[in-house]
Structure 1
Amino acid sequence: MDQSPPRSSSVTVADVARKAGVSKATAARVLGGYGTVSDHVRDAVTAAARSLNYQPNELARSMTTGRSGTIGVVVGDIENPFFSLAMRGITDVARQTGFTVILINSGEDADAEKSAIRTLLAKRVDGLIVSPAKESDADHLREAARSGRPLVLLDRGSETLDIDTVIADDRHAAENITRRFIALGHRRIAYLTACDTPDHRFRAPTDINTGSVRRRIEGFLDVCQKAGLERMEDWVHVGAVTPEHTYRIATVMLKSSRRPTAVIASDSVIGLEVFKVCRELGLTIPTDLSLVSFHDADWTSVTTPPVTVVRQPVYGLGEAAAKLLVERLNGNSAEATRVVLKTEIVERASVATAPA
């Protein structure tokens, strides 16, 4: 007679309870991770479940506990190394605390973000972590928060939402970079970002819907103004949404008769394209152009020259967001928390005095 354990799909809580010699209710508490049992009983039930190759029925468990055991995450661009590393921080915390993660990429599109949140709520995720595409379009985030599921904003906060938020000290970093450039004699300093406007022209920080980038540009412009540099808004270039767009913007900019002597790239994808265009045009970094990029991507340390970067606590952002969310899921009802993590400028060899 075949004595192999039943197929996992047919093994029930009752089967596990019978083998462990406990009641079905006790086995359900152990397998569902709720309630209190002795260590001896927990070990017996766990051993029985393992020997029978028991797999939990997630739908049934969620109906019993009111929890799905899942966290929904919506980010702007998963191909961007920034979000990939932040996701690692989120998933590590989720795994340690018994949650799985459902990830949806919005493509930095507000409508796609709204659809993603609706989908995740319909799947009954226990909580949400969202990196908003547009701070000015936040009604769907308010609705999500009112749904009763905890919500944490990642990297991009909102002044109008009383919601747990984890961001980096972006403005301070941009101010420090700009001061460094000005001290080295640079006056034509460009800032490149993927954020865009309807006519692809920048006029004021209020044009920028992404909070982290807006704070950087505010810091950049404030330092320039205090140093007596005028019309620096003209040196902010928007619309670098893809490598192809960035290539075109950087090529026009660096071929100009008034090309910048220094560039701040708002992320490492943009920084890489600027680096490539410099090579193609025969410009030398840092003799002809100084370059600093936000995010310490792997490539920045292996180029010739290696690129000075703003090292953001990207893993820490994801980790902190997930920890905040889990605390809420575990009953923390305190007022909304705003966590600001420090950045660090990593000096390499892509910055020099302005060319004469």
Structure 2
Amino acid sequence: MRTGKITIKDVARKAGVSVGTASRAMNGAPGVLARTRDVVHAAAREMGYQPNAAARALRSRSSRLIGCLFSDLENPLYARLFNSLQDRLADEGFVTLITASSSKVDRERRAIQTFAERGLDAIVIAPGHQDDPELLQMLRDFPAPIFVVDRDMEISADRLVFDHAAAIEGAVKHLTDLGHQRILPVISHQNTRPGLERHAAFDAAMARAGLSVGPKVEPETPNASVFSQLRDRLGAPDRPTAMIVQGTQVLSSALNALAVAGLRVPQDMSLIAVGDSAMAEDHVPPITALRMDRTVLVDEIAGCVLRRIRGDQDVPMDLTLRYDLIERASCARVSED
């Protein structure tokens, strides 16, 4: 076969990839999954293709693109995190792309594949499926730095997690110190780190206090309405006297359910929000909340990503960010009535 007449288009066609992907694979540029690179190189060898010097120069180029994959942008945490990361990274000359998977694993796999093919310099991820074997393998093959936000994933990546266990344990202790024994967690139980950690910590804290755990209210998503579930629970003779409620929208529907039930905060129901917000702060009365320092969160993620891209960070980063219990007026000593 005469190699002089073989072009990168021919190689791409044989390998079943785009010309851009074939070119990046042949020249060692970032953004190509290992298995795709192997297919392209095998096609090139079979056809006798040799890249020229100009094409090899592509390996030193940067896309100036950083990708974010989050499970749900309706979650205020991820929306705020993306906006802050976008501003911080723009100051360094990067454009930040985002995709929200709605916790659908096929979307998450497709997003990682697209991020790789487009040659992104790094990605920041908080997927809805932390244990999916195919997704994990794609991430292990990913050719650029990965930063994982609050997920337990068996991949080599930098990571920052939240100390949900200490936060929930502190919230339970705050309520039991006020005499509450019937405490209701209103926390989603998805198969990712936040839900698993929070429920395990709640059960353990109640056990240490010598209290039983009654029926829980578990939103299907971090932003689902719990109005109907709570309305039934609050009407029971053994209704809770305190609640730990996650999220802005879940909190809003919980407050509506309390109002319909004729229960006052904190006279009839003590309340702690998981995650602080303007709504919690401005509510009458203001709601006690578990707050994390979002400035530290963004600084740590952006700083690590930039160091990775520049080659200035050698060891994996594994940080834990704590919550602070911000005491306001939504918790009171349990009524003796």
Query: Could you state the TM-score of these two structures normalised by the residue count of structure 1?
Result: 0.73
Q: Give the number of the structure with larger relative contact order, counting CA–CA contacts within 8 Å between residues 6 or more apart.
A: 1
* 1:57 counterpart residue number: none
In structure 2, relative to structure 1, the CA distance for the partners of 1:316 and 1:235 (3 Å cut) is: farther
Match of 1:307 among 287, 290, 299: 287
* 2:199 counterpart residue number: 217
In structure 2, relative to structure 1, the CA distance for the partners of 1:328 and 1:74 (3 Å cut) is: same
Match of 2:263 among 263, 272, 283: 283
1:115 aligns with 2:110: yes
Q: Percent identity?
A: 23
Q: Which amino acid aligns with 2:298?
A: G
Give the CA deviation at 1:143: 2.0
Pairs within 5 Å for 1:1-356: 63=58, 65-137=60-132, 139-154=134-149, 156-158=150-152, 160-195=154-189, 208-230=190-212, 232=213, 234-241=214-221, 245-332=225-312, 334-356=314-336
User: What SS does the corresponding residue of 1:112 show, helix, strand or coil?
Assistant: helix
Name the CA distance, whole Å, in 2 between partners of 1:305 and 1:325: 40
Name the CA distance, whole Å, in 1 between partners of 2:224 and 2:71: 18
CA-to-partner distance for each residue in 1:302-329, whole Å, 9 max, x for gaps?
1111111011123432332222111111
- Whether contact under 8 Å (2:228, 2:257) holds in the other structure is no
Q: Which amino acid aligns with 1:121?
A: A
Number of residue-to-residue matches in the alignment: 281
* 1:204 counterpart residue number: none
In structure 2, relative to structure 1, the CA distance for the partners of 1:159 and 1:269 (3 Å cut) is: same
Runs of 5+ consecutive residues of structure 1 not aligned to the other structure: 1-59, 196-207
- Whether contact under 8 Å (1:243, 1:269) holds in the other structure is yes
CA-to-partner distance for each residue in 1:124-164, whole Å, 9 max, x for gaps?
2111100121322254144224222111111x221633321
Name the CA distance, whole Å, in 2 between partners of 1:149 and 1:133: 21
Give the CA deviation at 1:239: 2.9
In structure 2, relative to structure 1, the CA distance for the partners of 1:243 and 1:338 (3 Å cut) is: closer
In structure 2, relative to structure 1, the CA distance for the partners of 1:333 and 1:244 (3 Å cut) is: closer
Query: Could you state the TM-score of these two structures normalised by the residue count of structure 2?
Result: 0.77
Q: Which moved more, 1:138-147 or 1:163-172?
A: 138-147
Q: Which amino acid aligns with 1:173?
A: A
In structure 2, relative to structure 1, the CA distance for the partners of 1:138 and 1:328 (3 Å cut) is: farther
Q: CA RMSD in A?
A: 2.2
In structure 2, relative to structure 1, the CA distance for the partners of 1:309 and 1:242 (3 Å cut) is: closer
Q: Which amino acid aligns with 1:298?
A: A
CA-to-partner distance for each residue in 1:310-351, whole Å, 9 max, x for gaps?
111234323322221111111145232111122111111111
Name the CA distance, whole Å, in 1 between partners of 2:160 and 2:224: 31
* 1:50 counterpart residue number: none
Give the CA deviation at 1:242: 6.8
Q: Which amino acid aligns with 2:167?
A: A
Give the CA deviation at 1:243: 5.5
* 2:13 counterpart residue number: none
User: What SS does the corresponding residue of 2:271 show, helix, strand or coil?
Assistant: strand
Q: Which moved more, 1:271-280 or 1:314-323?
A: 314-323
CA-to-partner distance for each residue in 1:275-307, whole Å, 9 max, x for gaps?
121112211011111111111111111111111
Runs of 5+ consecutive residues of structure 2 not aligned to the other structure: 1-54
Give the CA deviation at 1:182: 1.0
In structure 2, relative to structure 1, the CA distance for the partners of 1:314 and 1:252 (3 Å cut) is: farther
User: What SS does the corresponding residue of 1:251 show, helix, strand or coil?
Assistant: helix
Q: Which amino acid aligns with 1:165?
A: R
Name the CA distance, whole Å, in 2 between partners of 1:64 and 1:306: 55
- Whether contact under 8 Å (1:88, 1:318) holds in the other structure is no
Name the CA distance, whole Å, in 2 between partners of 1:218 and 1:242: 17
